[in-house]
Structure 1
Amino acid sequence: MPKQRDVRAQRDLLSNATWQVLAEHGLPGLTLRAVAERAGCTTGLVMHAFPTKKALLLHARDLLYDRTAVRADAAEAASADAFGALQAVLGQAVDLPHGHHDESRVWVGFLAAALADDDLAERHRAANRSFLARVGRLVAACRPEWTDERLELTTKSLVALVEGLNVLAAADPRGYPARLQQNALAAALAPLR
């Protein structure tokens, strides 16, 4: 009797290999061959699951979104009030000493590719809108008396701060250490207290 393929296990293996290659070697290093080598399989198996580099990138972005959404949900649920939830959600989103440095590198690689591809850019915009909606809801809960314009500016400023810190820390972790990131986030959150 032929051996049954464990499709889920193979996909998980390839997902992990894709993630590692993108985190370690960036966008230029993400090839079907590199993923196959990392996974210890053939390029044919990789192509069966992800026929193109774009498919690999979309999968890596979806995996990143899923991971960060789970953490954000947990951070928000564990908080006693809206400010604590906002602080926790944004705090887990930056590349602090949480071990998310690889996530920042994957995000940067995906974003670089999205600049030249409409499908990738739309996936990025959809994830960004979701994060903006979460942060906006929490900002509004902290400051219900603020105008819509001020809420939008504050929300987008906070998201830009954490995403900018991620990009800069991914390229220069010594220049943007955890302490600097924590202080920058605390200063930006001060008016919401």
Structure 2
Amino acid sequence: MARRRDLEGHRERLSAATWSVLAEHGLAGLTLRAVAERAGCSTGLVLHTFPDKQALLVHARTLLHERTAARADAAQESGSEPLDALRAVLMQVASGSDDKREEARVWVGFLAAALADPELARLHRAHNRAFLRRIRQLVAACRPDWSPERVARSATTLVALVEGLNALAAVDLDTYSAAAQREAIEAALRQIRAERPLSPHGDTGSTAGSGVSG
């Protein structure tokens, strides 16, 4: 049992070191030696957990997904109404802080690497589709009167919007500022909020959360 705890602690330390190297040096700087130096251990110890750089890249890509999925879970739970939850999930993708822009640069690096790496491409598709399913469910909750096809189209548009803004902001924050990203997301949400079906009380449903999130 103690050995298992030691192994888990070692892996957590290497995970933290992996993300630290990624954030500072990008995908090109992610090497077994760099992770070992950041973790304060030998390269051999890193190789005991990750047999080669490919395994390290797969771990780093999975780590990125886990970080963003946990943040999306928290954002979704913060919304009292479906539209609030949708807004919160979309807004947490926007790269309005240094940490988020750092994460966006890492994401763009993995996307570029996936073009030539089938395993990274598989992971990218799986993680992106998981996010798309989340958005599709939220759109369906906002607009139960829409057909599944319309919900799917809207969700795909929203995911493409926020991922595109995130990637573009990573290299051109002057044009794709945090404020510009928020306004683009709000404009897309207005299309979902417009002409909402009547509630049982005869109004058009809750308007809570219609302002821009922080």
The one-letter code matched in structure 2 to 1:148 is P
Equivalent in the alignment of 2:170? 170
Please state how far the C-alpha of 1:126 moved relative to its aligned partner. 0.8
Range with bigger deviation, 155-164 or 137-146:
137-146
1:137 paired with 2:137, answer: yes
Equivalenced residue count is: 191
Moved over 4 A (4+): none
Please state how far the C-alpha of 1:98 moved relative to its aligned partner. 7.7
Distance of 2:94 and 2:29 partners within structure 1: 24
Distance of 2:177 and 2:112 partners within structure 1: 23
Distance of 1:160 and 1:5 partners within structure 2: 41
Unaligned runs of 5+ in 1: none
Please state how far the C-alpha of 1:64 moved relative to its aligned partner. 1.6
Q: Deviations over 1:27-51 (max 9, x none)?
A: 2211111212222221111111112
Distance of 1:26 and 1:41 partners within structure 2: 21
Q: CA RMSD in A?
A: 2.0
Change (3 A) 1:8 1:173: farther
Q: Deviations over 1:139-174 (max 9, x none)?
A: 111122223332222111110111111111222333
The one-letter code matched in structure 1 to 2:139 is V
Q: Deviations over 1:103-130 (max 9, x none)?
A: 2122122212111111111111111111
The answer on whether the counterparts of 1:75 and 1:85 sit within 8 Å (CA) in structure 2 is: yes
Change (3 A) 1:111 1:177: same
Equivalent in the alignment of 1:116? 116
Q: Which structure has the higher relative contact order (CA within 8 Å, separation 6+)?
A: 1
The one-letter code matched in structure 2 to 1:185 is I
The answer on whether the counterparts of 1:22 and 1:109 sit within 8 Å (CA) in structure 2 is: no
The one-letter code matched in structure 2 to 1:79 is G
1:20 paired with 2:20, answer: yes
The answer on whether the counterparts of 1:65 and 1:127 sit within 8 Å (CA) in structure 2 is: yes
The answer on whether the counterparts of 1:92 and 1:98 sit within 8 Å (CA) in structure 2 is: no
Unaligned runs of 5+ in 2: 194-214
Distance of 2:71 and 2:25 partners within structure 1: 25
Equivalent in the alignment of 1:81? 81
Distance of 2:190 and 2:147 partners within structure 1: 18
Change (3 A) 1:26 1:97: closer
Q: Report the 3-state secondary structure (helix = DSSP H, G, I; strand = E; otherwise coil) of the residue aligned with 1:146.
A: coil
Distance of 1:87 and 1:12 partners within structure 2: 32
Distance of 1:154 and 1:82 partners within structure 2: 15
Percent identity at matched positions? 59
Q: Report the 3-state secondary structure (helix = DSSP H, G, I; strand = E; otherwise coil) of the residue aligned with 2:84.
A: helix
* TM-score, length-scaled by structure 1: 0.90
Please state how far the C-alpha of 1:101 moved relative to its aligned partner. 2.4
Distance of 1:172 and 1:38 partners within structure 2: 30
Equivalent in the alignment of 1:52? 52
Task: Output aligned runs, 1:175-190, within 5 Å.
Answer: 175-190=175-190
